[in-house]
Structure formats: structure tokens, C-alpha cells
Structure 1
């Protein structure tokens, strides 16, 4: 009885062990198949290759209204107030205001000068009127004296003594001379007085023009939005940042822009070491860093023939690249957004491809790592991030291994 129970327990134990071994074998088989599946890509194979070049860039508007520093008597101005970057505005809303304290002070001085010029003009006119009255009186007085002298000189010579007759003739000539002199003084002094009044009138007009110019300059120091849109604050030309309140700016400098969002394009940078790899007309795929799950297609419009110096280092240079987008998403896209640009080169069909992980580039020339443990020298064509074209040195179907020892 006891022997029977013992035999039964041993059988149950053996069956349990067999079940565990079967399950372990099954797990081992699945793991091997998964490992084999993962390593199947480490082979030289035929396929279509398309070279891709990655660039960094940002969105920029080709059209828009620039708000520049106005032309005034002062070449340099200071920003007193500035709308926040990216804020939406309506037509007529203030965008930027410059410090006008100096202009206001000058305006007050010009108004005082104009008031003084007006007072001087009024005084000159009053003086001219008084002087003209006196001179006209003198002319009339001289004319009356001449008429009296004519009457006295008209008495016949026979009725007067020779002396009286001669004195009356001299008095007539003297009266004629006095009248001519009075009339000449009236004419000459009238011209001088009119000239003086004219000078003072010109001075007053000049002061009024200066006041008008100063008022226009003060009005121009406050720039308003010409239409509805979004404000994009300009960049500081030397410090690599956005402009801010307190910065000094110069005549003609763009302080802010009101971009036309429908004209957004991508401004990318091509390193000088990649010169010649991009040409106008090449297709691109753009990805906004803020929306990595959405791509936008476009094409290269222009590659600058002149390299520019990078702000990060004077040893680095780049070529500006302009990229037109097939579709502009005005709901998401904003000027200044960073963009990842993937430039698509020409397709090569039926090319012999090997993974970059199976290449050894540290030796004198490129070598492909074989699954058998050796390495074979190869001649490489163009490469992408993870794949290279092999022109010679290995055949399709050759099993390879990665640099970490994993075999295909």
C-alpha cells in the first residue's frame, strides 16, 4: 500500500519536471527566433538607395511689413516700449515707441523761439507803420512848403527888391530839394522796413516749420500696426538676441515686422563641408521641432554662392539655403520656429547596400565585417545615416556582423 503511493508520487514529480523542460524549450526556441529575426538585417542586400542630408533651419516670412526706426534729427534712438514677440495685434495698435524726451525738450524750445519770432514780427510791423506815417507827414510838409515857395517866387521881379527876389528863388529851389529828399527817404526807408519785416516773417515761418517737423518726428516715434497680424520682434545685430526695451537702435533698422504668414518659407544652413551636395529643385521633407509627428514637403529654391561666418565660431561657415514649402500651415507655423530639414537626393535602384553598423572605418580604408569573423575591404559610394552603398568588395547575400560582435 505504501509502495503504491510512493510510486504514484514519483510519477507525478517526473511529469511536472517534463512539463517545465518543455516550457523552457519553447521559450528558448522563441528567443532564438526573435534573435534570428533581429540579426537578419546584417547582410549585404540589393535595394533602392536615396541619399538624405539633414539640415537645421527656421521658418521665415518672405513678405511682410517692416517697422523701421524713423528718420529724425537724431541718428540713434532708444526703445521705450515694445510689444511682446509673437503677440497678435489689430490695425492701429501700438507696436513700438521710442524715447522722445529730447524731442519734447527741443519742441518746447522751438515753440518759445516761434513765440519770440512772432513778437519780433509784430513789433517790426508796428514800427514800420509808425515810421511810414512820420515819413509821409514829412513829405506832405515838404510839399506844402514847396507850394508856398512857388507862390512867393511867382511875384514879379519888378515888385520886389533884387535881394528879396533872389531869396525867394533860392527858397523855391530849397523847397524843391527838400521835397525830393523827403520822397527819397520815404521810398528807401520803406524798402528797408519792408525787408526787415520780411526777414522776421521768414524767421517766424522757419520756426513754425521746425515745430511741425518736431511734432511729426514725435508722432513718428510711436509706430502702429498697419494691419491685423502678429508682431515679430527683430534681432539685435551684435548680441544674437531679440531686441528689448532700453536697446539703442539706428535709423532704418528693422525693430519689428508684421509677417504675412502665407509667405512662410524655411531658411536653412548648409555647412561648408557639404558644399555642392544640395542644388535648387531638390525635394525636402521638413519637420517642425514643436510638432515632430507632422511633416511638410517642399523643394530647394536657392543656395547662396557665398558662405557666411557662423556666430558660434569664426572657424565655422555655412551657405544659406532657401526652401519653399508646398503647403503652409498658418495655424501652427510661426516665423522663427526651428525646423529639421531632410534633403532627398536622387534615387539609386538595385544598389548593393550594407548597414553602417557592419562597417569598420577606423583603418586605412573602409572594410566590411563578415559574420565568419574576418573583414573585407570595400569601395563605398554615398551613405545615409544607417546605410551605405557598396560599389565593390562584397556580394549580395553575404552575412555580416556589427562592430559590437553581433552576427547576421
Structure 2
């Protein structure tokens, strides 16, 4: 029975072949309208203003972070936000205390030595003064009472005593100046040691840093690790470790790769859309473009220009620094120009060509193009009918 059915089926006449229906090409039209070219950049939000929390000056070059407030948490004014390990500084503090004691002892020793030296030279001066006075008394004896030789010897003794006295006086003055200079050196050394000790004491007291005002904590990027600061990192005086941003004024920051240099300009309009809220957009304006391209990452071959976009408005509730944002920058803005569908244009030709209804190709001069349309500078008129190149270029 099954064989009979199979034979009956095979014996039926085959249906005639019908080719698939060919969809006619859609007729397209040159129209007049506005044209806007856009470049899409990827960036993130950042605060226009922020309170920076920096590592204070302390004794030594660097010290480790012992505790750090979590990134993104809110803090009150005066709350502890960072603590620096004080072990290294404590050791330095003891060294500087010892330096102060040593400098003080040196100053005292120099002062005593100066006193002894000046007293010795003062005593020598008094001896020379007494000797001069004695010589002058002996020289005052009338010449008639002694031989002329004795009288001349006494006169010569006066001159010698006066020279010795002047010499002792000059030596005393020189010693006073020298000892004062030595004492000044010791005094400066002592003052410097005390200053360094006070600096170390202040550093030790300032290693627990508090928030200057209430706000949101943002941990800063480590300058050479390619990540944010974290507990255990070695930091140095003057380094910015934390920031408290002002959420009332935000801006967008993006990277323009060097291959696109010149594609956008300062003053260009932009539309910023947060990835977290794709249904909400904010108008913006390109305010700065860095003059020098920098590496996107350490040892990277890619380089980019830093672009800043000022936002027309800020939403402190939804917007947070670091949120990713898509930035559409207007690169071309033309009004009332001829626009032709891109599918009817062969831009690779020399010159570019447009395909009219019927298949004829005409040379055209093109302006900028988008994914859908091209600006036609010449070669076509408003209302002309075109056909798509989807079937191939003849």
C-alpha cells in the first residue's frame, strides 16, 4: 500500500517554475534640510570644584597609609578620613630630640669655652696694662738722678710695654669677635634642631587628617600605580589622596584620540547622556581641548587629547563624579542644504556619483556625510528622484 502511494505521488505532473518576485527599488529623493554631523566620545563626570585633602608635611620622605575612608561614602565635617603610619616619623622624632640635646650641649660648651678664653685674654691685658703703668712711672724719674743709659732704657721699656699692651688689647677684641661668631654658629644649629623637632612633633600630631567640610569622599588616583590610593600605599608630603567634590557644579571629561585631532573645536555644542540614565540628556559645550596628546595608560601606544565639556545643568541627586557618560559633539551644523540618501551615492567614485531613477549615473560634489545622508554641493537638484545602489553599481 505504501509503495502504491509513493508511485502515485511521483506520477503527478510537476508544478511550473515561478521565479521569486523582484522587489522594485525604492525611489529616493533629493531634499532640502538641515544637516548635523556628530562625534561620539566616551567620558566621565567630574566636579568643577573640589576640596582636596593632601598629605601634610612630615619628617622624612614618605610614609604608609594606615587607614583610609572608603571611596564614595559621605562624611561629616571634622570626621577622620585618613591616617598615616607614624612609626617612621616616631623614630625620626627621637633622632631630632637627640639632635636638640647635642646642639644644646655644643652651645653650652662653646659658651663656656668663650668665657674662659675671654677671661684669659682679659687677664693678660690687665697684666700688660700694669706693666705699662709701671714702666711709665719708672720713666718719669728725672734724668739727672740716673745715668743717661738707664734713662734711655726706661724710655725704651715704656715703648715696649705700650706695644705689648696694644697687642693684648687687639687680641682681646679679635677673640671677642671670633668667640661671638662661633657662638652664633652654635646658636643657629640649636635653633635649627629645635625647628626640625617642632616640625616632627607637628607632623606626628597631623597624621590623623579630618574632613574640612561635610560631603562625599572620592579617593584620588595613585600617580604611578594606575589605580586609586589604598591602605598600605606609601605617600609623600603634598600628595592629594582624597577629594570632597562640590556636587552642585559638574562637568564631563572625555578623551579624543590623536587620529581624530581637529574633528571637534572649542565652543562646539554637545549632548551628554549618562549610561546610568539613558533616557536623560544634558546639553553641554566643549570648553577646553588639551594642546598635547598624552598616553591613555602607562606604556600605551594610544594617545589622546583631554576634552572638557561644561554642562548646562547639574542634577546633584543623580549625578556623581566618576559616572560614565556618552558625549555627542556636534562637528558640522548646516542649515537648508541639499541632502541625498547615502544608499543612492557611490562616494568611492572619482568623482562621486549618484544613481538616478532608470540607472543613469551623474557626477556630484559632496559635502559631509552621515550614515543616512550626504550633503550635495552640486550635481543634483531638489526633488530629483534617485535609486539605491543596493543592486550593484553599473
What TM-score bracket applies, with the shorter chain setting the length? 0.5 to 0.7
Segments of structure 1 that go 5 or more residues without pairing to the other structure are: 1-35, 131-179
Segments of structure 2 that go 5 or more residues without pairing to the other structure are: 1-22, 117-164
Q: CA RMSD in A?
A: 5.3
The farther-off stretch of 41-50 and 103-112 is 41-50
User: 2:337·2:375 contact (CA, 8 Å) conserved in 1?
Assistant: no
- SS at the partner of 2:212? coil
Q: Residue 212 of structure 1 is aligned with which of 176, 183, 198?
A: 198
Q: 1 CA distance for matches of 2:187 and 2:375?
A: 90
User: 1:232·1:259 contact (CA, 8 Å) conserved in 2?
Assistant: yes
Are the structure 2 counterparts of residues 197 and 313 from structure 1 closer, same or farther at C-alpha, using a change threshold of 3 Å? Answer: closer
Q: How does 1:8-407 map to 2 (within 5 A)?
A: 43-46=28-31, 47-114=33-100, 205-311=191-297, 314-344=300-330, 345-354=332-341, 356=342, 358=343, 376=361, 379=364, 380-385=366-371, 387-391=372-376, 392=379, 396=383, 398=385, 400-401=387-388, 403=390
User: Relative to total residues, which structure has the larger helix share, 1 or 2?
Assistant: 1
The farther-off stretch of 332-341 and 272-281 is 272-281
User: 1:378·1:390 contact (CA, 8 Å) conserved in 2?
Assistant: no
Q: Hey, what does 1:146 align to over in structure 2? A: none
Are the structure 2 counterparts of residues 318 and 114 from structure 1 closer, same or farther at C-alpha, using a change threshold of 3 Å? Answer: closer
Q: 2 CA distance for matches of 1:402 and 1:312?
A: 46
Are the structure 2 counterparts of residues 369 and 312 from structure 1 closer, same or farther at C-alpha, using a change threshold of 3 Å? Answer: farther
Q: Hey, what does 2:5 align to over in structure 1? A: none
The farther-off stretch of 300-309 and 53-62 is 300-309
Q: Hey, what does 2:138 align to over in structure 1? A: none
Q: 2 CA distance for matches of 1:350 and 1:195?
A: 88
Q: Hey, what does 2:8 align to over in structure 1? A: none
Deviation at 1:73, TM superposition (A): 4.5
The farther-off stretch of 387-396 and 88-97 is 387-396
User: 1:44·1:394 contact (CA, 8 Å) conserved in 2?
Assistant: no
User: 1:49·1:351 contact (CA, 8 Å) conserved in 2?
Assistant: no
The farther-off stretch of 387-396 and 198-207 is 198-207
Are the structure 2 counterparts of residues 404 and 259 from structure 1 closer, same or farther at C-alpha, using a change threshold of 3 Å? Answer: farther
Q: Which has the larger radius of gyration?
A: 1
Q: 1 CA distance for matches of 2:27 and 2:63?
A: 65
User: 1:84·1:231 contact (CA, 8 Å) conserved in 2?
Assistant: yes
User: 2:64·2:84 contact (CA, 8 Å) conserved in 1?
Assistant: yes
TM-score by length of 1: 0.62
Number of residue pairs aligned between Structure 1 and Structure 2 = 350
Q: 1 CA distance for matches of 2:180 and 2:302?
A: 72
